Structure 1
Amino acid sequence: MASVDPFDSALDLLRRLNPKHTADHLNNIITLNPSLAEDLLSSVDQPLTVRRCKQTGRDYLLCDYNRDGDSYRSPWSNQFDPPLYDGVGGAGGVGAGGASEGAGEGAVPGERVRKMEIKANEAFDVYRELYYEGGVSSVYFWNLDDGFAGVVLLKKASPSGDATSSGVWDSIHVFEASKRGRHTNYRLTSTVILSLATKGASLGEVDLSGNMTRQVEQNLLAENDESHIANIGRLVEDMELKMRNLLQEVYFGKAKDVVGDLRSIGTLSEGQRERDTQRELIGSMRR
């Protein structure tokens, strides 16, 4: 009998547990098997966490792409919190010997990619306000051998003062941009984590939680760095619109149909009278 891979077993278990509590389930599995920590944290999408930048006072989102151990890099100040290397490192927690390319392990993007990261954060901050009317957004870039990559994070939660209902939307858009002549190849993987809950005397308790992942790949003309920001913005905007419509029309529509079939607003006697009337009409049409 072939041995079971612990990593595959952990992923299989997480798929069967309530996605609303993914972070807690993930921590429990890592506690049981610490050797799976890095692989699980880089493979499993979990609800985004908000932290405030100590240098700028602005909120930013935490994910595996701006993490080094227990420290996270702010896109606003380019600094890690808590600081890395006991405060000896350079900007962004990079050692004094030079900038570190790529994501993870104290890395910050190179100068050109960092400038694009700053512009992307400004652009998606406007996008967040227009589409979400609040919430938090963060964008992180890193260098690749033949281009660059990044992640766009968006989070919107309902006001915490409402005790009867709650809702959280987390969207994670990971992309790679590779130069192909005059065009650039963009590969985008988008994940939406949605959690909705309400309770009351008339409705009872309802909890809808889940996640959805979609991918797209396009070759687009990019004449300069500003073109990259515009292309990424259009790809993310189109993907979010498609996923929002899919959630509304397919998932919520199906849930509404199921609830409508299981629960009737009228009484049993009214339902029986309607069925009797229907049978009489059908019988009279056959005569």
Structure 2
Amino acid sequence: MTASVDPFDSALDLLRRLNPRDTAANIERLCALAPTLQEDLLESVDVPLATRRCRQTGRDFLCCDYNRDGDSWRSPWSNEFEPPVEDGEGVVPSERVRRMEVRANEAFDVYRELYFEGGVSSVYFWDVDDGFAGCVLLKKSVPTATAAGGMKSSGSWDSIHVFEAADRARTAHYKLTSTVILNLGGQADALGNMDLSGNMVRQVEQDMPITDDDASHVVNVGKMVEDMELKMRNLLQEVYFGKAKDVVGDLRSIAPLSETSRDRATHREMIESMGGR
């Protein structure tokens, strides 16, 4: 007797085996095949962030499951849904949490400009039983550009930082889960297509001091997100890109074949001469 297969687990297993660059499109296809899995897939699988324009302020903001209500998304700049929800009301944070959300959006807008020199940032907070929670979203896309030699390259960086903050006496306990989605591509007639895509997830928990002013929460979350982004960026650069460089180096040598053959022959002669002594 065979055990029953969970459709949700099968969908996740399928997504892990497909190209990470096409995750958003593949989720849409899975939802069309199994509509009952839509909510679970949207909550469990991170995809590159979509951008919308706030009608009140004219500023771009990022869309995710944490600011979604049906087919509408709440703008962090106006605190209103785009487009308006059907019943005229949507889930919005309390007055205290909204004040912190506004400060956080101002702070991370400066962070985005300093570290990314462009892109879009959005911060969303919401109330929970023993404190509050939120997410910090950052996106930077590089449009397709043609470099020397006819190489066309493009790329995008999406980072999703979800945290929970539990208030305690003079301190707060923060739990941060960070996801980075990186897509890089290149195309040239002589070399063909190159696609380097994937995501990385890291978690950290930390107790940090707070004052009577809620602004200390924004400062603490900002420090944690900044430290986590720096660690994940260095890890991507040193480990993942380093490994990709080694693989490419093993597949294709930069030196001419004649030079490589001459070096191998010289090395073989030295070994043979040492063995004859």
Pick the TM interval, shorter chain.
over 0.9
Match of 1:111?
95
Deviations 1:108-157 (A, max 9, x none): 10000000000000000000000000000000000011000000000000
Instruction: State percent identity of aligned pairs.
Output: 69
Question: What SS class does the counterpart of residue 72 from structure 1 fall into?
Answer: strand
State the TM-score, normalized to the length of structure 1: 0.91
Map 1:57-136 onto structure 2 (within 5 A).
57-85=58-86, 89=88, 94=89, 106-136=90-120
Pick the aligned partner of 1:138 from 122, 126, 131. 122
Measured in 2, the distance between the counterparts of 1:25 and 1:204 equals: 24
Match of 2:266?
277
Match of 2:172?
184
Match of 2:38?
37
Once the two structures are TM-superposed, the CA of residue 208 in structure 1 deviates from its matched residue by 0.3
Stretch of structure 1 that moved more, 268-277 or 16-25: 268-277
TM-align CA RMSD: 1.3
* Stretches of structure 2 lacking an aligned partner (at least 5 in a row): none
Cα gap change, 1:109 to 1:187, in 2 (>3 Å):
same
Deviations 1:241-285 (A, max 9, x none): 000000000000000011001101233333222111012223334
Measured in 2, the distance between the counterparts of 1:14 and 1:47 equals: 14
Match of 2:142?
158
Stretch of structure 1 that moved more, 63-72 or 160-169: 160-169
Measured in 2, the distance between the counterparts of 1:164 and 1:177 equals: 44
Deviations 1:192-216 (A, max 9, x none): 0000001124543211000000000
1:138 aligned partner, one-letter code? S
Match of 2:244?
255
State the TM-score, normalized to the length of structure 2: 0.94
1:220 aligned partner, one-letter code? M
1:190 aligned partner, one-letter code? S
Q: Aligned pair count?
A: 270
* Stretches of structure 1 lacking an aligned partner (at least 5 in a row): 95-105
Stretch of structure 1 that moved more, 259-268 or 13-22: 259-268
Cα gap change, 1:48 to 1:237, in 2 (>3 Å):
same
2:83 aligned partner, one-letter code? P
2:208 aligned partner, one-letter code? L
Deviations 1:223-243 (A, max 9, x none): 121110010000000000000
Match of 1:205?
193
